[in-house]
A and B are shown apart, each in its own frame.
Chain A
Amino acid sequence: MKFAVIQFPGSNCDQDCLAAINGIRGAQARYVWHKDRSLDHFDAIVLPGGFSYGDYLRTGAIARFSPIMQSVIAFANAGGKVLGVCNGFQILCESHLLPGALLRNAHQQFSCKNIFVKDGDGDVFKLPVAHGDGRFYADEKTLDALELNNQVLLRYCTADGTVTGEANPNGAARNIAGICNVERNIFGMMPHPERACTPQLGNTDGREVLRKLFESVPEFAAS
Chain B
Amino acid sequence: MKVIVTPKSSVLDPQGAAVRDAMQHLGMPEVRSVRIGKYLEIELDGDGAELEPRLHQLCRDLLSNPVIEDYQIQSEGDRS
Q: Is A193 an interface residue (CB 8 A)?
A: no
From A62, A101, A104, A138, give the contact of B14 (CB < 8 A): A104
From A57, A62, A65, A101, give the contact of B68 (CB < 8 A): A101
Q: Is A145 an interface residue (CB 8 A)?
A: no
Q: Is A110 an interface residue (CB 8 A)?
A: no
CA distance in complex: A61, B18 (Å): 25
Q: Is A30 an interface residue (CB 8 A)?
A: no
Q: Is B34 an interface residue (CB 8 A)?
A: no
Q: Which 5 A-B pairs have the closest CB atoms?
A: A101-B67, A101-B68, A106-B14, A108-B14, A101-B65
CA distance in complex: A108, B22 (Å): 14
Tell me if B's interface is mostly helix, strand, loop or mixed. Answer: loop
B residues whose Cβ falls under 8 Å from a Cβ of A:
10-12, 14-15, 18, 62-63, 65, 67-68
CA distance in complex: A104, B23 (Å): 21
Write the A119-162 contact mask toward B (1 if CB under 8 angstroms, else 0).
Answer: 00000000000000000011100000000000000000000000
Write the A94-107 contact mask toward B (1 if CB under 8 angstroms, else 0).
Answer: 10000111011011
Indicate if the CB atoms of B68 and A103 lie closer than 8 Å. Answer: yes
Number of CB contacts from chain A to chain B under 8 A: 33
Indicate if the CB atoms of B12 and A171 lie closer than 8 Å. Answer: yes
Q: Is A184 an interface residue (CB 8 A)?
A: no
| Shortest Cβ distance from residue A69 to the other chain B in the assembled complex, whole angstroms | 12
Write the A36-76 contact mask toward B (1 if CB under 8 angstroms, else 0).
Answer: 00000000000000000000011001100100000000000
CB contacts (< 8 Å) of B68 on chain A: these are: 101, 103, 137
Indicate if the CB atoms of A100 and B62 lie closer than 8 Å. Answer: no
CB contacts (< 8 Å) of B65 on chain A: these are: 58, 61, 94, 101
Indicate if the CB atoms of A107 and B14 lie closer than 8 Å. Answer: yes
CA distance in complex: A62, B62 (Å): 7
User: What are 7 A-B residue pairs whose CB atoms fall within 8 Å in the complex?
Assistant: A62-B62, A99-B67, A103-B11, A103-B68, A108-B14, A108-B18, A137-B12
Indicate if the CB atoms of A106 and B12 lie closer than 8 Å. Answer: yes
CB contacts (< 8 Å) of B11 on chain A: these are: 103, 137
| Shortest Cβ distance from residue B14 to the other chain A in the assembled complex, whole angstroms | 5
CB contacts (< 8 Å) of A94 on chain B: these are: 65
CA distance in complex: A13, B68 (Å): 27
Q: Which residue of chain B is the closest to A60 with respect to CB atoms?
A: B65
Q: Which residue of chain A is the closest to B63 with respect to CB atoms?
A: A57
CB contacts (< 8 Å) of B12 on chain A: these are: 103, 106, 137, 171
| Shortest Cβ distance from residue B57 to the other chain A in the assembled complex, whole angstroms | 13
| Shortest Cβ distance from residue A170 to the other chain B in the assembled complex, whole angstroms | 11
CA distance in complex: A53, B40 (Å): 18
CB contacts (< 8 Å) of B18 on chain A: these are: 108
Q: Which residue of chain A is the closest to B64 with respect to CB atoms?
A: A58
